[in-house]
Amino acid sequence: MPALGAGRVIGGILPGRTDGWSSNEGRVHSVAHLLPSRALHTLDDYLSTGGGEVLENCRRLGPDGVIDTIRASGLRGRGGGGFPTGFKWAGLAAADGAEKYAVMNAAEGEPGTFKDRAILRRNPYQVIEGLAAAAYAIDADTAFIGIKEKATGALARIEAATAELSAAGLIGSLSITIVPGADDYLFGEEKGLLEAIEGKDPLPRLYPPYVQGLFEQPGGEPRPALVNNVETLANVPHILANGADWFRSRGTAKSPGTVVCTVGGDTTKEGVAEIELGTPLGDVLDIVGGGMKDGGPPRVILNGVSNSPLTSRHLGVAVSFEGMKEAGSGLGSAGFTFYDDTVCPTQVAAAASAFLFRGSCGQCPSCKLGTEAVAERFAALAIGDGSPEAAEEIAAWTQRITDSNRCGLGAGQQAIAAGFLQQFPDDLAIHAGGAACGGRAISITTIADWDETVSRFEYSPRVLSDRPGG
Ligand SMILES: Cc1cc2nc3c(=O)[nH]c(=O)nc-3n(C[C@H](O)[C@H](O)[C@H](O)COP(=O)(O)O)c2cc1C
Ligand code: SF4
């Protein structure tokens, strides 16, 4: 594995250090742009880095020029789906509507992920500027920010930065409302988020935000909404200032730029760092996590709970949209949890599927029944109480768990379940034979906080049932 600085991790917050770092290998512009070496506490701090020019750049380019630049940059959404941002903006700009809205998704509910809150703590100004550019591009006067009420640190930074930028006239007359939400997984699902912004439980509705936006009346005109993740928006002012080619000078052709990774679990250190897309997963483990605590290879690598798990065989896989896809997984929100060999893969499957079952709202029969059936079977297998047919039954559920679903949660359970069946067939067979393996029990919850001084995350307490609206 490469030594610090010789890999393609190009900067960010290195766990255990508070001064930040970078290894730009001679390319001045390749210093991490999303995670500055020190937190920017005031607007003056931000202006001293060259920030504060987003409106000027928007006016220079015009709405079409902004969209063309974002499209040319190849920026893809960092909220999990990887949808091309410029195309999304072009769709919203062309849509009819009495009014349009720009929405920032700062919910960060994926287990193993702390990157949005790290970005907001370090530099909330770039994110608010990105939101202002999105609103400008689609012709919206009103924006919303959805964030968990328990994320008090990030929430305070957003409030302060919004007030400062607004008072300085740097985001024009854009009206921004911050909507604090409950700790439901579905608060981060875009259709659930729009419901929450309207003051309801975050139960995903039928139509996507570009069809059914905010505050629409029956029979009234459409009011479409654009929803983007924090990290997606954070990239925008930098792209508008430096150009699409600058952004494409890092990363791969299909995954340009950087991604802010979270690394946790049985690693020497837990933390967040900005890496160049295309960096091998093993480098991310070594450089961000300091390797595994026990010095051995990881047994199970989870990338959130909605992507197929990986193993030590995948340490050479490129952390990029296409690299993760080729490995049968997905980039998701790049939150990697590494488990050592004291953990049994069946336990991890049980914990991940239980998280998704608890998060499902039960509006769609196949998701409601399927997430439960899969979680129950993995839980029984984990304690050596599974039927010999359990793996086959799980496989059968993966075929129909996504039928007619309103949102992607059921697809997450499909990916996790099918992935464990495929990657760990021998372990599951042992459990199906009535044996419990004695592996360390784990539970999967979200990250509540990051203590940078000791390089460890604090995890949210386990909840037995957190079905939204329940
Ligand atoms: C169950 C579920 C939970 C999600 N949670 C989040 C979240 O916490 N934050 C987020 O940005 N996107 C989340 N998403 C993805 C959003 O629905 C949406 O795709 C994203 O905010 C779009 O932004 P982007 O195009 O910038 O990635 C979730 C999706 C699903 C299906
Ligand atoms: S797919 Fe599942 S979580 Fe999503 S709306 Fe339907 S029941 Fe709820």
Mean pLDDT throughout 194-205? 97
Report the candidate in 289, 284, 274 with the shortest Cα–Cα distance to residue 36: 274
In this prediction, residues 188-217 reach a mean pLDDT of: 97
Name the closest-CA residue to atom 8, ligand 2. 361
275 domain-assigned: no
Nearest ligand, CA 228: 1
What is the CA(19)–ligand 1 centre distance, in A? 31
Give the ligand with the smallest distance to the CA of 331: 1
In sign, the C-alpha dihedral spanning 426, 389, 444, 370 is: positive
What percent of the chain has pLDDT above 90? 86
The DSSP element (H or E) to which 274 belongs, if any, is strand 271-276
> Whose atoms come closest to the Cα of 363: which ligand?
2
Report yes or no on 404 lying in a domain: yes
Domains: count for the chain = 2
Mean pLDDT over 208-231 rounds to 96
For residue 331, is pLDDT > 60?
yes
Residue 330 domain-assigned (yes or no): no
- 251 vs 339: CA distance, rounded Å: 27
Q: Angle CA(238)–CA(242)–CA(246) in degrees, nearest 5?
A: 100
Q: What is the mean pLDDT of residues 60-68?
A: 98
pLDDT value, residue 463: 63
Q: Round to whole Å and give the CA distance between 437 and 423.
A: 17
Look at residue 198 and tell me if it is in a domain: yes
- Ligand 1 atom at shortest distance from the alpha carbon of 411: 31
Average pLDDT for residues 22-38, to the nearest whole number? 57
Q: Assign 2 a pLDDT band (cuts: 50, 70, 90).
A: very low
The last residue of a domain, from among 243, 271, 300: 243
- Nearest partner of 331 among 341, 344, 320, judged by Cα: 320
8 A C-beta contact, residue 305 and residue 412: yes
Does the structure show a pLDDT above 90 at 32? no
| Model pLDDT, residue 66 | 98
CATH code for the domain of 141: 3.40.50.11540
Q: 466 pLDDT band (50/70/90 cuts)? A: low
Rounded to the nearest whole angstrom, what is the distance from the C-alpha of residue 109 to the centroid of ligand 1? 9
Structure tokens at 382: 């984990």
Q: What angle do CA 114, 456, 110 make, to 5 degrees?
A: 25
Q: Do both 81 and 220 map to the same domain?
A: yes
CB of residue 418 inside a 6 A radius of ligand 1: no
Question: Domain with 405 in it: what CATH number?
Answer: 1.20.1440.230
Does any domain span residue 301?
no
Boundary residue ending a domain (191, 209, 243): 243
Q: Is residue 121 part of a domain?
A: yes
Q: What percent of the chain has pLDDT over 70?
A: 91
- The pLDDT score that the predictor gives to residue 435 is 76
Q: Domain span at residue 417?
A: 345-441
Mean of per-residue pLDDT scores for the chain: 91
pLDDT at res. 436? 73
Residue finishing a domain among 212, 243, 274: 243
- pLDDT bucket at 38, cuts 50 / 70 / 90: confident
144 close to 104: Cβ distance less than 8 angstroms = yes
Position with higher pLDDT, 254 vs 37: 254
What mean pLDDT comes out for the span 380-396?
93
**pLDDT digits 0-9 by tens, 140-172:** 999 999 999 999 999 999 999 999 999 999 999
Query: How many Cα atoms are found within 13 Å in the side-chain-facing hemisphere of 147?
Result: 23
pLDDT at 332 over 60: yes
Confidence bin at 346 (pLDDT 50/70/90): very high
Per-residue pLDDT at 437 exceeds 90: no
Q: Over 80: is that where the pLDDT of 31 sits?
A: no
Residue 225 host element (H or E): strand 225-229
CA of 188 to the centre of ligand 1 (A): 5
Residue 65 in domain: no
Q: CA–CA separation, 30 vs 121, rounded Å?
A: 21
> Do residues 235 and 352 both lie within one domain?
no
Residue 414 identity (one-letter amino acid): Q
What number of other Cβ atoms are within 10 A of residue 97's Cβ? 18
pLDDT of residue 469: 42
Q: What confidence score (pLDDT) does residue 26 get?
A: 28
Asked if residue 159 is part of any domain, the answer here is yes
| Residue 439: per-residue pLDDT | 85
Amino acid symbol at 70: I
Mean pLDDT computed over 9-28: 36
